[in-house]
Amino acid sequence: MKKTVTTLADGRELIYYDAGDGEARAGYTDRRPLEPAHRNAETRFDEVQGEWVAIAAHRQDRTYKPPADQCPLDPSTEDRLTEIPAPTYEVAVFENRFPSLGGPDGGRCEVVCFTPEHDKSFADLTEAQAALVLEAWTDRTAELLARPDIKQVYCFENRGEEIGVTLAHPHGQIYAFPYVAPKMDRAVASAEAYLARTGRNLFDDLVERESADERVVEENEHWIAFVPFAARWPYEAHLYPKRRVADFTELDDAQRAAFAPIYLSLLRRFDGLFPAADGTPGRTPYISAWHQAPKRPAGTAAQVALHAEIFTVRRAAGKLKYLAGSESGMGAFASDTTPESAAIALRGAGR
């Protein structure tokens, strides 16, 4: 992999990741007359919930559903200048122009462009392309965790207008939190309590139990995907490496080689849940959330395991799962499907 680092016109960092030589991508400069980048987000602490909240009012002005021929994530052309100055790329990562994190409290938000092809989806990538995205996630995780202001690195993808996506180009994001996010904080506490109670790792035991259950969707030698026992969303699957690692940087060569086939297959299963009228796979809206262990003191072992949680807000063809008052207001979820039936549907939805 070749990594090329350059700077956009407003001072934000842009990084190209290429499987080949990258064709001197740094030679393409950003010719846009941009104002200095926004770095005025702040974090505030909710004393009742014990959680940090990001305040980023400037995001009201972010780009909102531009037409396809005005997409800021496409490569630049002579007639149209975008966030990517090069005329093409393989994977590109840049600082978000409208970040939720940053400023005096620290943190960083990045955009990850999976492909230059506007009409593609992650599920349409080749295994080699997906493997390059994994290398980009790994590199960004290592670099961001090395910063003193960062405590957790979160890689994720939102897809579909139903999720709230405002840019249709296939892309994801990376949030480097200056605090441990609420859901991760609870996971750390649960894992530490489990260790104290049993002397074992919670995630090791979880994967062992799930591997023998009817809710397994698919697996290979190094990864396993299953619908969790207490799934919150109508269709939800978790993907784990069978050998526990804390984050992307700890994956070995065998795990990396086995990643792309199962991850692409799992995303395609979600697309197969709700086919188009002609029977071809649809474009199921989903969130793919990669959980990585937060930064910990040197010499201490991580109890949280790297894994992806993939879920959709679509509960049936033409029907969305809206969070009710008990769910939004109290965090008390009620699922519209059984995890067992969801696993059956996902197993039958492959392509």
Buried b / exposed e along 253-282 (16+ C-beta atoms within 10 A)? eebbebbbebbbbbbbbbbbbbeeeeeebe
- pLDDT score for 218: 97
What does each C-alpha distance from 261 to 144, 157, 305 come to in angstroms? 27, 18, 20
- pLDDT score for 300: 85
pTM of the model: 0.96
Find the mean pLDDT for residues 290-298. 94
> Which of these, 271, 291, 21, 96, lies nearest to 3 by C-alpha position?
21
Is 271 or 57 the better-scoring residue by pLDDT? 271
2-179 matches 183-347 in fold: yes
Strands ordered across the beta sheet of 91-95: 2-7, 13-18, 91-95, 108-113, 171-177, 152-159, 286-291, 307-312, 235-241, 223-226, 216-219
Question: Distance (Å, rounded) from C-alpha 302 to C-alpha 295?
Answer: 9
- pLDDT score for 40: 82
Judged against a pLDDT cut of 70, whether residue 351 lies above it is answered with no
Find the mean pLDDT for residues 187-196. 97
Residues annotated catalytic, as ranges: 171
Of the candidate ranges 19-28, 184-193, 280-289, the one whose mean pLDDT is the lowest = 19-28
Q: What is the mean pLDDT of the chain?
A: 94
Instruction: Provide the residue type at 163 as one letter.
Output: I
- pLDDT score for 62: 77
Phi-psi label, residue 68: left if phi above 0, alpha if psi -120 to 50, beta otherwise: alpha
Find the mean pLDDT for residues 163-188. 96
Q: What is the pLDDT of residues 141-158, one digit of tens each?
A: 999 999 999 999 999 999
| Class of the domain covering 183-347 | alpha beta
Q: What is the pLDDT of residues 220-234, one digit of tens each?
A: 999 999 999 999 999
Distance of CA 295 to the CA centre of its chain: 18
Question: Distance (Å, rounded) from C-alpha 110 to C-alpha 96?
Answer: 5
Cβ–Cβ under 8 Å, residues 163 and 320:
no
Q: What is the pLDDT of residues 92-101, one digit of tens each?
A: 999 999 999 9
Question: Distance (Å, rounded) from C-alpha 104 to C-alpha 43?
Answer: 9
**Where along the chain do its domains lie?**
2-179, 183-347
| Class of the domain covering 2-179 | alpha beta
